[in-house]
Amino acid sequence: MDNLSDALKKLKITAIDISEDSLEGCLDCLLQALAQNNMETSEKLQGSGILQLFASLLTPHSPCTAKVANIIAEVAKNEFMRLPCVDAGLIPPLVQLLNCKDQEVLLQTGRALGNICYDSHEGSSAVEHAGGAQIVVDHLRSLSSSTDPANEKLLTVFCGMLMNYSNENDSLQAQLINMGVIPTLVKLLGIHCQNSALTEMCLVAFGNLAELESSKEQFAYTNVAEELVKLFKKQMEHDKKEMIFEVLAPLAENDAIKLQLVDAGLVECLLEIVQQTVDSEREEDMAELKTASDLMVLLLLGDESMQKLFEGGKGSVFQRVLSWIPSNNHQLQLAGALAIANFARNDGNCIHMVDNGIVQKLMDLLDRHVEDGNVTVQHAALSALRNLAIPVVNKAKMLSAGVAEAVLKFLKSEMPPVQFKLLGTLRMLIDAQVEAAEQLGKNVKLVQRLVEWCEAKDHAGVMGESNRLLSALIRHSKSKDVIKTIVENGGVKHLVTMATSEHVIMQNEALVALALIAALELVTAEKDLENAKLVPILHRLLADDRSAPEIKYNSMVLICALVGSEPLHKEVRSLAVLEVVSRLRSHENKTVAQQASLTEQRLAVNS
């Protein structure tokens, strides 16, 4: 360390007119000391004030320039040295050196800038201000085709520098994207796939950029899918596969790239990984199985990629995914059920799957998870059943297969995601199915649970679906017994509240259900309707110009039904509902205007 102190003194005193040999000796001494103890040497260097002198030594024509840049690269490995490097004014001369032709100078300069930018906002800002990123992007572009080892080393350093420069900074990443770095990086990956250091650096750079939406559009115009799949097929090591997975996941969120990945053969790779790891208990194999099956499900979220893999229900991929559902591996059960939910996104696929026995497989899976089951598997299987129940022709088939009974086993679940899917599945199943709606609507346990969930204020989705199912049970059954069950268990007030929902579809469903209650069981429900302040709510809906025409129409139909009750009719009169109705006779919507005339006549007769 004595030599170091001498070298620092010598540099400080004579840096301006020191001979090149003497300067080189001092720099060698510094490099040697940094190699032995980087942190301690860096601290001494900072204390000596030498950093400021380095700016004047970074000249393009000096034979010592590469060594000065190397020293800066070494000291900037320490976090505490990055800001001092910026404050010493080293960034502008380093950026100028990027225009130099000497390969060693470019290499050390790239290292220095990359290390200064690492986790340093000030470093990145200074490089941005000096215009360094554009020069590096241009270098990558012009050097991309050369596979000379020294050139590949330089490309690796430049990729690393851009990665550190833009890491976790959306605006700098967007700037690099606008400079056209993505096609260049994809080209590098293709040409230099044998160079593992450069390949890894490209992958990390992809990972940084792929989170941005604008990047995905640019990636979609390259052959990145093909290159990544090609690279993936060559990998044997878990860590390398993991790196590629980390890039594939954000890229596969883009529908165009999903299709490109399917065309490039990624699905076959993923299925192979599942086959190799399904029975393994090694942690890394289980992680790989999860990543591969999750990515498979993600690819099925794109309409085109999903349809391509479905192949009319004959596709080998679809058949393989089906085989995951009866598996003993929870991760595969989950992925299988989610995949079926994704395949079940159009009527044709749903009808084919129901006709080919998928419902029984999903019910068997649910059966395995009733007691202390896996919540994510329950949720996924219910999602699949809900989607399958959407086509009209599937409803009766699924009901006769016992889906409603299988779903009701989860009524006791305390998990909101499961409750939400359970409610959605039942609502889809009973749509226009009179018998099923009546059977479920008379199920006291179900109705009590629905009324309870209608108050789940912490879970808006569960609350909304419970209200909608209550209404659906009445609308599709049109049954007095169902209405009595719902009234007796306190459901009316929730339907009245639902009529004030911000969603027109829910308001409408509530008003139609309430009109049926008033038409079929007014005496039974009278007290509850009065307590729930139904008439003031209807008055408000009719008087509000923002109410949709169908809301006004159904509110008037309901008012006509309410006049059969003395206390409710009294409220209608005292609130001067007739005046509001009269004004609606001139409503621009003919149906509303006609109903207003009919309602006015009805109210006038009964007044």
Q: Which amino acid is at 227?
A: E
- Among the listed ranges 17-26, 169-178, 284-293, which one has the minimum average pLDDT value? 17-26
Q: Cα 306 to chain center, whole Å?
A: 18
553 with 525, same domain: the answer is no
To 5 degrees, how large is the angle CA 417–CA 423–CA 429?
A: 135
450 with 503, same domain: the answer is yes
Residue-wise pLDDT for 163-201, tens only, equals 999 998 999 999 999 999 999 999 999 999 889 899 999
Assess if residue 282 is contained within a domain.
no
Residue-wise pLDDT for 414-450, tens only, equals 999 999 999 999 999 999 899 999 999 999 999 999 9
3 state SS of 541: helix
479 with 409, same domain: the answer is no
459 with 374, same domain: the answer is no
User: Long-range contacts: 227-233, Cβ < 8 Å, 24+?
Assistant: 227/186, 227/189, 227/190, 227/193, 228/189, 228/261, 228/264, 228/266, 229/261, 229/264, 229/265, 229/266, 229/269, 230/193, 230/264, 231/189, 231/193, 231/199, 232/266, 232/269, 233/265, 233/269
Assess if residue 551 is contained within a domain.
yes
Query: What is the per-residue pLDDT for 12?
Result: 61
Determine the average pLDDT of the residues in 309-334: 90
What does the block give as tokens for 399? 């009901």
Q: Cα 369 to chain center, whole Å?
A: 27
Which DSSP letter does residue 78 get? S
Residue-wise pLDDT for 515-535, tens only, equals 999 999 999 999 999 999 999
426 with 352, same domain: the answer is yes
Percent of the chain whose predicted confidence (pLDDT) is above 90: 67
Residue 160: closest CA among 119, 190, 202, 131: 202
Given a cut of 80, whether residue 22 has pLDDT beyond it is no
Name the residue range of residue 408's domain. 303-432
What does the block give as tokens for 345? 């996104």
Q: Cα 174 to chain center, whole Å?
A: 20
Burial 305-330 (b: 16+ CB within 10 A, else e): bbbbbbeebebebbebbbebbeeebe
Q: What are phi and psi of 502, to 5 degrees?
A: -80, -10
pLDDT band, very low/low/confident/very high, at 85 (cuts 50, 70, 90): very high
Asked whether the beta carbons of 371 and 410 are under 8 A apart, the reply is no
458 with 547, same domain: the answer is no
Assess if residue 347 is contained within a domain.
yes
Determine the average pLDDT of the residues in 31-57: 86
Q: Which position has the higher pLDDT, 594 or 237?
A: 594
How many structural domains is the chain composed of?
3
510 with 406, same domain: the answer is no
* Rounded Cα gap, residues 486 and 441, in angstroms: 8
* Largest pairwise CA distance in the chain: 115
Given a cut of 70, whether residue 41 has pLDDT beyond it is yes
Sorted by sequence, the CB contacts under 8 Å of residue 280 that are 6+ apart come out as 286, 289
Residue with tokens 């001498």, as numbered in its chain? 6
CATH of the domain at 413: 1.25.10.10
Helix, strand and coil in the chain, % to nearest 5:
80, 0, 20
* Rounded Cα gap, residues 179 and 176, in angstroms: 5
Using CA atoms, how far residue 209 sits from 55, 111, 188, 246, 386, in Å, is 32, 21, 15, 12, 36
Which DSSP letter does residue 584 get? G
Helix axes 266-277, 316-324, angle to 10 degrees: 30
Query: What is the per-residue pLDDT for 422?
Result: 95
Give the dihedral sign, CA 151/154/156/162: negative
Asked whether the beta carbons of 569 and 522 are under 8 A apart, the reply is no
Assess if residue 204 is contained within a domain.
no
Query: What is the per-residue pLDDT for 53?
Result: 85
Given a cut of 50, whether residue 585 has pLDDT beyond it is yes
Sorted by sequence, the CB contacts under 8 Å of residue 91 that are 6+ apart come out as 85, 113, 116, 123, 126, 127, 129, 130, 132
Residue 499: closest CA among 518, 482, 523: 518
User: Long-range contacts: 451-456, Cβ < 8 Å, 24+?
Assistant: 451/489, 451/490, 451/491, 451/494, 453/419, 453/423, 454/491, 454/494, 455/494, 456/416, 456/419
366 with 421, same domain: the answer is yes
Residue 77: CB atoms within 10 A of its CB come to 15
518 with 542, same domain: the answer is no
* Rounded Cα gap, residues 226 and 142, in angstroms: 23
Q: Write down which residue in 375, 403, 432 finishes a domain.
A: 432
pLDDT band, very low/low/confident/very high, at 285 (cuts 50, 70, 90): confident
Q: Write down which residue in 532, 555, 587 finishes a domain.
A: 532
322 with 386, same domain: the answer is yes
What does the block give as tokens for 8? 């620092």
Assess if residue 237 is contained within a domain.
no
Exposed/middle/buried for residue 396 (C-beta within 10 Å: 0-12, 13-18, 19+): middle
Residue-wise pLDDT for 479-498, tens only, equals 999 999 999 999 999 999 99
311 with 359, same domain: the answer is yes
Residue 99: closest CA among 52, 51, 65: 65
Assess if residue 539 is contained within a domain.
yes
Assess if residue 161 is contained within a domain.
no
What does the block give as tokens for 58? 């970074």
Q: Write down which residue in 532, 562, 592 finishes a domain.
A: 532
Assess if residue 114 is contained within a domain.
no
Query: What is the per-residue pLDDT for 429?
Result: 95
* Rounded Cα gap, residues 389 and 66, in angstroms: 70
Average pLDDT, the chain: 90
338 with 426, same domain: the answer is yes
Residues constituting the chain: 607
* Rounded Cα gap, residues 289 and 271, in angstroms: 9
Determine the average pLDDT of the residues in 285-299: 91
Asked whether the beta carbons of 112 and 69 are under 8 A apart, the reply is yes
- List the alpha helices (DSSP H) in 210-343: 213-220, 224-234, 238-251, 255-263, 266-277, 283-299, 303-310, 316-324, 330-343
pLDDT band, very low/low/confident/very high, at 234 (cuts 50, 70, 90): confident
Query: What is the per-residue pLDDT for 1?
Result: 44
